[in-house]
Amino acid sequence: MSGDSTETTQNRKDAQAAGIYAAGRSIAMLMLVLTAVAANHLYGQLGFAYVTAIILIYETSMALGSLGLPDAVFYFIGRYKDRASAIVRQTSWMLLLAALPVTLIAIGSAIWLSRGDGKLDLIPALPWLALVILIELPTQPAVNQLIAHGYAGTASLLYAGFAVLRAAAVLAPALTGWSLTTIPMAMALLGLTRLAAHLIILRRLYPLAPGERWRIRSQMREIFFFALPGGVAAGVGKLNPQIDKYAVQFMLGTEALAIYGVAAFELPLITLIPYAIGAVMQVRYVRLFASQELAELKALWFATVEKSMVIVIPLAVVVVVMARELIMLIFTPESVAAVGPFQIFTIVLLHRVASYGAMLQASNQTRLLFVTSALIVGSNLLLQWPLTKLFGMNGPAMATALANVPAWLFTLDRIGKIYGRGLRDALPWGFYLRTLVICGALGVGLWQLRPYLYGPPWLALIEGLLAYAVVYIIVGRLTGVLRLEDTAYLRRIVRL
């Protein structure tokens, strides 16, 4: 009995820690969106294009250089507690080595972007961008080190704090009157706080014992090859939405990049839901797969996916329909040209109804992430030029969206083969299609109603969202798409 009580208490603590950290990540994602909105209002079109290019190079560098090593901290500290002090130093050292070639790639990217139409000059930013990469890549594991040591609340505050400092660096010129060229300088100087935090964590939580060595090649190789598959997949997941921005700058010019920078943002809540649910459920997936309880695994997977579908699909549909009002509300009126690409990006969310990587990891199929990564990047690169030529501003977004399809189908087939017949058993297709049809039909109705919504964009947006939500809940309950417990679940999501 006491054993059950202990496990229940631990589960509660783990859930609370996960919730705290998810809140921190949500705040950081929201800060990223708000920073883009503020920069769009404050800096004008060419200024916003400059900010977009700086952030693009920064995010590309972090995606290429991380290699899954920050997340490997969890596994190796959990498995080798006596080696924890060495592990955190080994991961940082490998990230520092990765930062050297990544810095060269970043410099090449900045030069390439500057050679477009001549309106974007990133050359003065190069020394500061290089310094940002050399500081931030090796210190990336800091937050995960805190979580591994049981300080989820502090980790959450640190994660959100770093996001606030990055926003401060981007918005500093608007507050001080300085030139926009000081943005990468501010990013580098404020990035020193990451280095300070990292060193404090190492000193206080992971001190080396007298005489302990940490530069052990065999251990570093073990960490590297364990982290690489997931790291490549995560890196591609971050890199894929950035390829189109490079194509826009090169093929359509700086003004187009400013508009496209508006279109290419994701609403945090929609993207967070399936991954948060997947993170919570992954331990149960692992246990069921390990004990070969495949029927129970399938039932749990289907139930989890359905929980995501009932919130992700209607949210994506209503955002597509009300995209014009949303863009005009949070960005400038000139950004209305971004509505088309933004709608395309949001349509992509209709397939992101599950944390597919969680199931692949639970079933020991992490090597497949290499295949899906290659499919996504290869498809995107092949489609960018022809679709941009054919469809202009919408082309890069279409290429990025279509690039997900082969990898998605391949992933579903492998998930379905864990417990069934492949693709046909990968998802609760009947429920998925029924939800798509209902939400889509309601979306068509709202589209017809949209011209008659009263008032300015903010009021029309509220009217549209409320009307859609009320009708969705009523129709969902009548058709069986929404159950009683689902409506309670939706209320909790809205409160979050």
Provide the 3-class DSSP secondary structure of residue 427.
coil
pLDDT tens-digit series, residues 146-201: 877 777 778 888 888 888 999 999 999 988 888 999 999 999 999 899 999 999 99
Q: Provide mean pLDDT across the span 256-262.
A: 81
Question: CA 255, CA 464: separation in Å to the nearest integer?
Answer: 31
pLDDT score recorded for residue 72: 76
pLDDT score recorded for residue 446: 94
Those residues whose C-beta lies under 8 Å from the C-beta of residue 43, and which sit 6 or more positions away, are 50, 51, 173, 174, 180
Reply yes or no on whether the pLDDT at 493 is more than 60: no
Question: CA 226, CA 68: separation in Å to the nearest integer?
Answer: 9
Mean pLDDT over each residue of the chain, to the nearest integer: 83
Give the burial string for 35-71 (b: 16+ CB within 10 Å, else e).
bbbbbbeebebebbbbbbbbbbbbbbbbbbbbbbbbb
Beta-strand ranges (E) seen in 432-485 are none
Question: CA 185, CA 132: separation in Å to the nearest integer?
Answer: 9
Q: Is 159 exposed, middle or buried (0-12, 13-18, 19+ CB in 10 A)?
A: buried
- How many whole angstroms from its chain centre is CA 67? 16
Which is it for the CA torsion 27, 29, 35, 40, positive or negative?
negative
pLDDT score recorded for residue 22: 62
Q: Provide mean pLDDT across the span 104-115.
A: 89
Reply yes or no on whether the pLDDT at 412 is more than 70: yes
Reply yes or no on whether the pLDDT at 308 is more than 70: yes
Describe the crossing of helices 457-479 and 429-449 by its angle, rounded to 10 degrees: 140
pLDDT score recorded for residue 79: 73
Does residue 454 come out as left (phi exceeding 0), alpha (psi in the -120 to 50 range) or beta? Answer: beta
Which of 83-97, 111-125, 245-259, 350-364 has the largest mean confidence?
83-97
**Least confident range of 24-33, 253-262, 353-362:** 24-33
Question: CA 128, CA 475: separation in Å to the nearest integer?
Answer: 55
Provide the 3-class DSSP secondary structure of residue 14.
helix
End-to-end Cα spacing for the chain: 34
Residues 39, 47 contacting (CB under 8 angstroms): yes
Reply yes or no on whether the pLDDT at 392 is more than 90: no
Question: CA 122, CA 475: separation in Å to the nearest integer?
Answer: 52
Q: Which of 399, 396, 388, 337 has the alpha carbon at shortest distance from 45?
A: 337
Q: Provide mean pLDDT across the span 359-381.
A: 80
Count Cβ atoms below 10 Å from residue 189 Cβ, excluding itself: 17
Q: Which of 362, 240, 232, 355 has the alpha carbon at shortest distance from 294?
A: 362
Which of 70-74, 229-233, 308-312 has the largest mean confidence?
308-312
Question: CA 99, CA 232: separation in Å to the nearest integer?
Answer: 15
Q: How confident is the model at residue 20 (pLDDT cuts 50, 70, 90)?
A: low
Reply yes or no on whether the pLDDT at 229 is more than 80: no
Reply yes or no on whether the pLDDT at 49 is more than 50: yes
pLDDT score recorded for residue 160: 84
pLDDT score recorded for residue 170: 93
Range 379-387 contact pairs with CB under 8 angstroms and sequence separation of 24 or more: 379/403, 379/405, 379/406, 379/407, 380/240, 380/243, 380/244, 381/243, 384/243, 384/244, 384/247, 385/247, 385/251
Reply yes or no on whether the pLDDT at 14 is more than 60: no
CA distances from residue 164 to 70, 300, 366 in whole angstroms, order as listed: 21, 38, 33
pLDDT score recorded for residue 496: 45
Q: How confident is the model at residue 275 (pLDDT cuts 50, 70, 90)?
A: low
Alpha-carbon dihedral angle through residues 334, 339, 340, 341, given to the nearest 10 degrees: 90
Reply yes or no on whether the pLDDT at 8 is more than 60: no
Q: Provide mean pLDDT across the span 392-400.
A: 88
Count Cβ atoms below 10 Å from residue 72 Cβ, excluding itself: 24
Transcribe 29-94 into DSSP letters: HHHHHHHHHHHHHHHHHHHHHHHHHHHHHHHHHHHHHHTTHHHHHHHHHHH-GGGHHHHHHHHHHH
Reply yes or no on whether the pLDDT at 388 is more than 80: yes
Q: What is the 3-state secondary structure (H, E, C) of 274-323?
A: HHHHHHHHHHHHHHHHHCCCHHHHHHHHHHHHHHHHHHHHHHHHHHHHCH
312 φ, ψ (degrees, to nearest 5): -70, -45
Those residues whose C-beta lies under 8 Å from the C-beta of residue 121, and which sit 6 or more positions away, are 114
Q: How confident is the model at residue 454 (pLDDT cuts 50, 70, 90)?
A: confident
Q: Provide mean pLDDT across the span 204-209.
A: 88
Q: Which of 327, 310, 346, 293 has the alpha carbon at shortest distance from 490?
A: 310
pLDDT score recorded for residue 447: 94
